[in-house]
Structure formats: structure tokens, C-alpha cells
Amino acid sequence: MQDILLEMKNITKEFPSVKALSGVSLTVRKGTVHALMGENGAGKSTLMKCLFGIYSEDSGEIYLEGKRVKFSNPADALENGVAMVHQELNQALKRSVSDNIWLGRYPTRFGITLEGKMYSETKKIFEELDIKVDPRTIMSTMSVSDRQMVEIAKAVSYNAKVIVLDEPTSSLNEREVEHLFRIINKLRDNGCGIIYISHKMEEILRISDDVTIMRDGKHIATEKASELTMDRIIKLMVGRELTERFPPKHNKVGDVALKVEDLSARYANVDGVSFEVREGEVVGIAGLGGSGRTEVLETIFGLLTKKSGKLTLKGKVITNKNPREAIANGFAMLTEERRATGIFGILDITENTVISNLSRYRLAGLFLNKRKMHKDTEWSIGAMRIKTPNKNTKIRSLSGGNQQKVILGRWLLTEPEVLLLDEPTRGIDVGAKYEIYQLILELAEKGKSVIMVSSEMPELMGVCDRILVMSGGRLAGEVKLGEDGRSGGDIQEEIMSLAAKYV
């Protein structure tokens, strides 16, 4: 048996009204990838925050290379060789890549920052990891996937012995995932211990050596990845059998609801895109990173400035100059980065649920109907199965997946005609994904139109009626689903071929 690198023994952590961790233990061996799995709210992130010094455990012990440790803060953890790449990236977006990597520990001489050394050291790390990013690039100009690679490089720069990766592939396409796996394998070969948090079971079974599964704040099982199956993982995670990954589809496609003609964005990669979406139809949008998938949704919703083109909803030409106008016109959009553009962290669940539809709760134009607000919030908590002590809980204290459910519930309450979803199940467990798929299909059954961007091709094929493929800011083609004699592999090959059309 390989040397034990990290031991967490009987970790317990309580918050007001909830016991987040109950005697959880985790053992990570040197030079291995140890997956940590569980439903949203199972306690995975809380356990890692105890390791990383963000939270202080109420009881339990942590050992790193046989020595007992208790980190007082993340800086303390980093200095002792424990790094964590969070799912929700927290970076200085107006600063350069090298600034972000060396923030708080700039190399200096006589009080002067050594910019050249920062650049060369960053370049050296990037070459080792095969990351093709200029260290002088400003973070805000980069894709989410490139920013994530920068965070991994930052962890490596600390000579980390243990690196925690929280949903590292949630914003990556297949090519970027392969690059990440090459980096992980290189780190593993160098003796690093990787704790890999993900809901993507195919990835877990492929990349991991050991798998620990948690449920309701407790340790359920630790098993060899080579001895696990997807069905076994699901049963351990949710405590029940889940026979189907996708719900049955009963939606009936009707007349054209939304017509997009020659749509181009002024400051983004959208060039002459045209397509139609019918009533009761779920249309997917696939493509590589930077293909313009997200930008199409943002231009339709008024988040990006439209350069040219026409939007027609049920025969009426609309402009959607901004999100407020888009909402009034019957559009709703769930964004990819919930922390940056989705939640209001300092507000509670009720406020986050009703904030996009306050006119619905006005009394005499002066007051808000608190009773109705609370009733709708209770409906959202129940319908979305949101794990929370109560509706007055601050949304920032929820797990990432439960935050996503709150946002989706918010938009469903606006009763949109067109629902725009950008990575709607990002960072969400398999049980909750099924529930969200059900809600999407229920909307379609009611005659609503859904446009869904996703990096997961099985998800697009399992939920959508057809898939549009973006490449280089243009619409490269359309893939129809449900045709006789076509395997999933054939469809994926066609999608990837179209995705590379204008690259």
C-alpha cells in the first residue's frame, strides 16, 4: 500500500440549525486521485473547507504526512502544501495572469516587485503543464476554462502536496477535459495527492484511484474506483436506485415561437446566427470553448449589445435592449457563473427567489406582499428539492447545486415563454440533475420554448429535441435527434465535426 499522505479523522462541523458533517473520515494516498462524491448538500465542500482552513472543525483531527495540522486560514494551508481550486473562481479579474498567481507573495528586491521574475516563473510552470496562456494576459479577457487552468498552475506554484479540485470540468469542453486529465496524471506521477470533487461519474471512473461517497454529512463508503460501477455509485449517493439518467419525453413540438435572424453581437463572437425554436421544443446548443454558445444566449437576452439581426417572438418583433426588457418580453436566463452573475450572496433564499419578479408581489404599488413571497419561495424549495434549514437562510451558505436550484426556481416563477439555460446542471449531482431535467421537460410540455447550452453531450442528447452547433461565432449546423439507426457515438462524432468547422 502506498504511503498515506492525508488523513482526516472523525471531522464534525455544525452550523445553526444544521449538522453539516458528522464524524467524517477521509484517507488520501500519495500519488493517487481520490474522488469525493455525494449529492448537493452532502458535506463535500464543507469537509474540504475544514481541510483548507476556511472553516474550523468542531471536532476531529487532520494529519498531513503523519503530522497533525490545523490550518487557521487558506494562506496557512497553502504555505503547508495544501491547495484548493474552487468551483466558483475568485480571482482579481482586472489584473494579469502572473499577478493572480503571485498575489500576496510577489518576489521583491529592495521593496521593488520583480516583474521579470514573476513572468519567467509563471512561464516555466505553464510550460511544465502545457498551458498555452500569456502570463501578461488580463484575467477578465480569458475564458472560464483558461482561468481555471491558471488556478491549477497557482496551486502547483506552491509546490502543493495535496490539491483539491472542486468540479474542475464543469466549464470545460471535451478537448479541455483531456488537457486537464494530462495535468492531473502528471501531478499524480510526481507524488501529489489529488482530491477530485465531481458529479460526472464517467470522469470519476476514468481518472480516480479511490472513491469516497458522502450522504447527509456522513461517510457512506470508500472503494477502489476499478471495482465501482455507475449504478453502484448512484445507489450509494442517493440511497436508492435511479434506473434512468433522463426522464421520458412527452413534449409535443408546435408552431414557431422564437425566430432569430442574422444575429450578430457588437463586442462578442456572434456572427450572422439564424435559427428557429418552436413551442414545446427543447433546443440544445453545443460547441467548443469560445465558439459563441454563451454569447448567443446573452445577445438574445440583452446582456450583450446586438450589432444586427432580428428577434421575433410569436409573430411580434422585439428588441431586448437589456435584461429588464427581455424579462418583460417573456424571456428568462440562467447564467453559467451563478456566483458572479446569478446569486445575491448577502440576501436570503426568499429574496433571491422573488427578486426578478417583484411586480408580482406589489400591494397598492407601495408595499410587498410578504405572505405571497414566502408562499412562492416555499413552492420553489419544495419543487426544486432545495436543501436548506429554512427560507430565511442566506443563499451563500448553500451548496453550489442548491444555489443553482434557487436561481432556476426564481426564473420559473416569472413564467417565461422562452427559457435560456447556460450550463443548467453545472456542479449538480445526478439526482438533482434528473429533477431539473424533469422541470425543463414539464415546461416544454406546457408549450414553452427552451434553449440550453451544455458542455455535456449526453445531457444534450438526453433532453433536447435537436442540437445546434456553434463554431467560431457562427452556426455550423444542426443535428437532429431520434433518427433511426443512429448511435450516440455517431451523433457525438457529427457534433464534434461541426464544432471544428470554423476553428
The per-residue pLDDT for range 384-429, each reduced to its tens digit, is 778 788 888 888 878 777 888 888 888 888 888 999 999 888 767 7
**Domains of the chain, CATH where assigned:** 4-238 (3.40.50.300), 244-330+416-503 (3.40.50.300), 342-415 (no CATH)
184: which 3 cell numbers? 492531473
**pLDDT tens-place string over residues 83-136:** 988 877 778 888 999 998 888 888 788 888 888 888 899 999 898 888 888 999
Percentage, residues of the chain above pLDDT 90: 38
pLDDT at 1 (0 to 100):
46
pTM as predicted:
0.65
Query: What CA–CA distances, in Å, run from 366 to 351, 357, 363, 376?
Result: 17, 15, 6, 20
Q: Where do the H-state alpha helices sit in 68-143?
A: 74-79, 97-102, 115-129
- CA 498, distance to chain mean position in Å, is 24
Among 111-125, 316-330, 334-348, the range with the most confident prediction by mean pLDDT is: 316-330
Q: What is the pLDDT of residues 431-470, one digit of tens each?
A: 778 888 888 998 899 999 999 999 888 889 889 999 999 9
Q: Which residue has the cell 483531456?
A: 178
Strand 33-37 versus strand 210-215 pairing type: parallel
Mean pLDDT of the 149-165 span: 88
What is the grid cell recorded at 497? 465535426
52-71 mean pLDDT: 92
**Which three three-digit cell numbers place residue 319?**
428588441
Q: Which residue has the higher pLDDT, 213 or 368?
A: 213
Residues 130, 180: Cα–Cα separation, whole Å: 10
Is the pLDDT assigned to residue 275 strictly greater than 90?
yes
Residue-averaged pLDDT of the chain? 86
Give the full edge-to-edge strand order of the sheet including 418-422. 331-334, 418-422, 449-453, 282-286, 466-471, 474-480
Q: How far apart are CA 463 and CA 411, in angstroms?
A: 19
Average the pLDDT over each of 205-209, 238-242, 248-252, 305-309 and give the range with the smallest value: 238-242
Query: What is the distance between the alpha carbons of residues 117 and 392, in angstroms, rounded to a whole number?
Result: 49
Separation CA 348–CA 205 (nearest Å) = 37
What whole-number distance in Å separates Cα of residue 421 and Cα of residue 409? 13
Q: For residue 240, is pLDDT > 70? A: no
Taking alpha carbons only, the member of 492, 487, 440, 431 closest to residue 463 is 440
Mean pLDDT of the region 265-289:
91
pLDDT at site 156: 85
CA within 13 Å, CB half, 267? 5
Mean pLDDT highest for which of 199-203, 247-251, 294-298?
A: 294-298
Q: What angle do CA 126, 52, 37 make, to 5 degrees?
A: 85
Best-predicted range by mean pLDDT (200-204, 299-303, 386-390) = 299-303
Q: What pLDDT is attached to residue 220?
A: 92
Long-range contacts of 170-173 (CB under 8 A, 24+ apart): 170/87, 170/423, 170/426, 170/427, 170/455, 171/144, 171/145, 171/336, 171/423, 171/426, 171/455, 172/145, 172/148, 172/289, 172/455, 173/145, 173/287, 173/288, 173/289, 173/455
What is the C-alpha separation between 188 and 253, in angstroms, rounded? Answer: 49
Across 375-392, average pLDDT: 83
Q: Which residues of 112-143 are buried (b: 16+ CB within 10 A; e: fewer)?
A: eeeeeebbebbeebbeebebebebeeebeebe
- Find residue 85's DSSP bridge partners: 165
Amino acid at 329: N
Q: Residue 341 — pLDDT band, cuts 50, 70, 90?
A: low
Measured between its terminal Cα atoms, the distance across the chain in Å is 46
CB atoms within 10 A of CB 215: 18
